[in-house]
């Protein structure tokens, strides 16, 4: 989509990102208005190299839900990403207030069952047992549920053509 583009007059607001609030509530399935989608589309494509893709068909939402779920599973099972995730978690409101960073468990809007499982997963040996019992696919459920409650998913992609990026990917692949 071309024409009106975001002028980037407020790019300095990037410094407010740490002050943001993210709504992680389950969706209702109500679609966004055409005007809101148009504005998101225009803002995304006003960035050089960015493209906007809207997924709305049930088959597309099912597929992206499976991808999100698989990414969640990998985040739990990969040792380094698990450590990073757990270091970001704030398990009580007191801990959240004291640290002033991270991700408060309450902000995830988990069901009581999912909250209990998430608390169990604090202990790495529990996840190791789940893997031994070949139950790791259950770690995908929350991600799939989150997407299934949405009316659509917007993907914003950006192609980056920097020699340093290709160079670093190539060298990582050669290790």
The whole-angstrom distance between residue 23's C-alpha and the CA centroid of its chain comes to 12
65-123: pLDDT as tens digits: 999 999 999 999 999 999 999 999 999 889 988 988 888 888 888 888 888 888 888 88
| Residues 79, 90 within the same domain | yes
C-alpha 11/C-alpha 27 separation (Å) is 29
- The larger pLDDT score, comparing residue 90 to residue 6, is at 90
Pairwise pLDDT comparison (1 vs 8), residue with the higher score? 8
Its domain, for residue 159, covers 32-56+151-166
Contact 42, 5 (CB under 8 A): yes
Question: Rounded to whole angstroms, what are the CA distances from 150 to 29, 58, 108, 147?
Answer: 5, 10, 16, 5
**Whole-prediction pTM:** 0.71
* One domain, residues 94 and 157: no
Same domain, 80 and 50: no
| Residue at 102 is within a domain | yes
Residue 23 banded pLDDT, cuts 50, 70, 90: low
Residues 124 and 156 reside in one and the same domain: no
Angle at which helices 58-77 and 79-88 cross, to 10°? 90
Give the chain's domain count: 2
Q: Tell whether 114 is covered by a domain.
A: yes
pLDDT top residue among 29 and 69: 69
Residues 145 and 98 in one domain: yes
Same-domain pairing of 141 and 156: no
Residue 87 CB partners (closer than 8 Å, separation 6+): 102
């Amino acid at each position: 989509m071309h024409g009106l583009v975001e002028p980037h007059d407020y790019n300095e607001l990037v410094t407010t990102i740490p002050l943001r609030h993210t709504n992680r509530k389950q969706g209702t399935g109500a679609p966004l208005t055409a005007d809101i989608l148009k504005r998101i589309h225009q803002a995304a494509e006003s960035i050089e190299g960015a493209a906007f893709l809207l997924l709305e068909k049930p088959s597309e939402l099912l597929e992206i839900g499976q991808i999100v779920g698989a990414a969640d599973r990998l985040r739990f099972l990969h040792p380094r990403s698990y450590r990073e995730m757990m270091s970001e978690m704030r398990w009580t409101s007191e801990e959240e207030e004291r640290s002033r960073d991270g991700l408060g468990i309450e902000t995830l809007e988990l069901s009581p069952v999912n909250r209990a499982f998430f608390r169990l997963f604090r202990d790495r040996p529990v996840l190791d047992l789940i893997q031994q019992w070949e139950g790791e696919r259950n770690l995908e459920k929350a991600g799939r549920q989150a997407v299934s409650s949405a009316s659509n998913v917007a993907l914003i992609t950006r192609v980056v053509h920097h020699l340093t990026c290709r160079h670093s990917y190539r060298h990582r692949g050669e290790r």
